[in-house]
């Protein structure tokens, strides 16, 4: 049997149509360069917050799951079968005293240890107190808004504990009733 070469005929109607070729692209000239975008200045205070994030992540082995846009946060840890632990948080990136307080509060949960304090509202209290102390240690101003945030969060935690019929409220939390 002889094999014949297939003729190179177009087999589709699409192949029969001819389209104008794109004009050749011009290469950018190497002599003209675009100016670099202007560098945004970072304030000294923001540099302090950036350093705070780096320090806390390194000191406590924290991984940021997500930076939140709201002033809420969440801290948790994952224990693997091989015994390793991943410490995770979600919090707002510190750009001012309030967001720094929430960020440090979530770090505080890892710093004081999960399930170390009972009941849960007392653990929240300890994490907030750790956060305020960390703000003092890092020379971050504790503003009235921060104090109001701490107060409202602890009032919420105590109210939640009462809804769940807490038997004994720790003495430190009585003022948040």
8 Å CB contact between 97 and 132: no
Residue linked to tokens 């029969």: 16
How confident is the prediction for the chain on average, in pLDDT? 89
Is 57 a residue whose pLDDT tops 60? yes
16-30 core/surface letters (b: 16 or more CB in 10 A; e: else) = eeeeeeeeeeeeeee
Token pair of 46 as six digits: 């923001």
Mean pLDDT of 65-83: 96
pLDDT at residue 30, rounded to an integer: 57
Confidence of residue 11 (pLDDT cuts 50, 70, 90): low
Is 173 a residue whose pLDDT tops 60? yes
pLDDT tens digits along 125-153: 999 999 999 999 999 999 999 999 999 99
Is 77 a residue whose pLDDT tops 90? yes
Report the phi/psi class of residue 20: left, alpha or beta, with left for phi > 0 and alpha for psi in -120 to 50: beta
8 Å CB contact between 57 and 32: no
Per DSSP, helices labelled H in the chain are 13-16, 44-60, 97-112, 120-137, 144-163
pLDDT at residue 5, rounded to an integer: 57
Mean pLDDT of 107-113: 97
CA 26 to each of CA 22, 29, 31: distance values in angstroms, whole numbers, following the listed order: 12, 9, 14
8 Å CB contact between 94 and 49: yes
Global pTM value: 0.77
Mean pLDDT of 15-28: 68
Helix (H, G, I), strand (E, B) or coil at 153: helix
> What percent of the chain is modeled with pLDDT above 70?
80
């Amino acid at each position: 049997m002889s094999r014949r070469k297939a003729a190179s005929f177009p087999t589709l109607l699409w192949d029969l149509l001819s389209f104008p070729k794109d004009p050749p692209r011009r290469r950018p000239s190497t002599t003209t360069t675009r100016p670099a975008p202007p560098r945004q200045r970072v304030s000294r205070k923001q540099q302090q917050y950036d350093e705070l994030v780096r320090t806390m992540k390194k000191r406590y082995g924290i991984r940021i799951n997500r930076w939140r846009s709201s002033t809420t946060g969440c801290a948790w840890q994952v224990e693997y079968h091989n015994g390793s632990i991943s410490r995770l948080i979600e919090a707002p990136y510190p750009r001012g005293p309030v967001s720094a307080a929430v960020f440090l509060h979530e770090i505080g949960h890892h710093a004081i240890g999960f399930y170390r304090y009972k009941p849960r509202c007392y653990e929240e209290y300890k994490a907030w107190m750790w956060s305020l102390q960390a703000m003092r240690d890092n020379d971050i101003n504790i503003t009235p808004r921060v104090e109001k945030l701490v107060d409202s969060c602890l009032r919420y935690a105590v109210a939640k504990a009462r809804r769940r019929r807490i038997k004994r409220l720790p003495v430190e939390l009585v003022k948040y009733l």
